[in-house]
Structure 1
Amino acid sequence: MKIFYKTRATATGGRSGHTDLDDGSLGFDLVSFQEMDKEGVNPEQLFAMGYAACFDSALNLTAQQMKLPITASKTSTQVGIGMKADGSYNLDIDLYIEVSGIDEAQAQTLIEAAHQVCPYSNATRGNVDARLHVTVV
């Protein structure tokens, strides 16, 4: 695989600690999902933000490659965490995609194709339940 970009982050203190990008450009105090009344963010929120941005980029790239005239798009990602029957933890993902400029059938084809392109989708495929929801606006 040809690598285009790498970044590195370091966390201390786990879910109730702190994480920073090693280049110093961004950092967050962390709270676990059980501590949401405290100041900070949790890893699921950070993952949701990254996945939403990545999928929306993949959607626009795929639309261009498919020559679909979308006029706007918006991707929202909902990430949950839960326990599997074997006692291990796993994520649960819903992607809500809005597109304009194409019909419902084209939008469905587009999001399924973008799901094959998106690095986050490829990283989670087969490991995490990820459901795609599309709305044409």
Structure 2
Amino acid sequence: MKLSTPGKGDGTNPEQMLAAGWSACFIGAMGLAAAKLKVALPADTAVDAEIDLGTTDGGYFLQARLNVSLPGVTREVAEALAHAAHETCPYSKATRGNIDVVINVV
């Protein structure tokens, strides 16, 4: 895999890899939550994870936004699934308390 720094080069950067892994894992966690609630995830379920690399006082930090799309699912159920997934997804657990994370149901 060809790697590059954010915004430079034609390779993948670490933030993109984190976003891809987190998105896939989060969808899996929503699937488990949906099974418990006896609802089906739509075929076009999507999680668009945006990872920002910021700087402060000469150091670096990450922050994330997970934009969850569950077409055809009521907002109440979609928010419940996203919340449950955020509690159980290993990526969410690993980052909890370490970086700012915003979950948006879109």
Task: Tell me, yes or no, whether TM beats 0.5.
Answer: yes
Provide the identity percentage. 37
Match of 2:70, SS state, is: strand
CA-atom RMSD, angstroms?
A: 1.5
Greater strand fraction, Structure 1 or Structure 2? 1
Match of 1:29, SS state, is: coil
Partner of 1:76: 48
- How many residues align? The count is 105
- TM-score when scaled to structure 2? 0.89
Map 1:119-130 to 2 at 5 A.
Answer: 119-130=90-101
Partner of 1:29: 2
Pick 1 or 2: higher relative contact order, CA cutoff 8 A, min separation 6: 2
Unaligned runs of 5+ in 1: 1-27
Amino acid aligned to 1:59: M
How many angstroms apart in 2 are the aligned matches of 1:31 and 1:69? Answer: 38
Q: CA deviation at 1:91?
A: 0.8
Runs of 4+ in 1 over 6 A off after TM superposition: none
Deviation by residue 1:98-136 (Cα, 9 ceiling, x = unmatched): 11343111111110111001000000000111100112x
Whether contact under 8 Å (1:70, 1:101) holds in the other structure is no
How many angstroms apart in 2 are the aligned matches of 1:62 and 1:101? Answer: 17
- TM-score when scaled to structure 1? 0.70
Unaligned runs of 5+ in 2: none
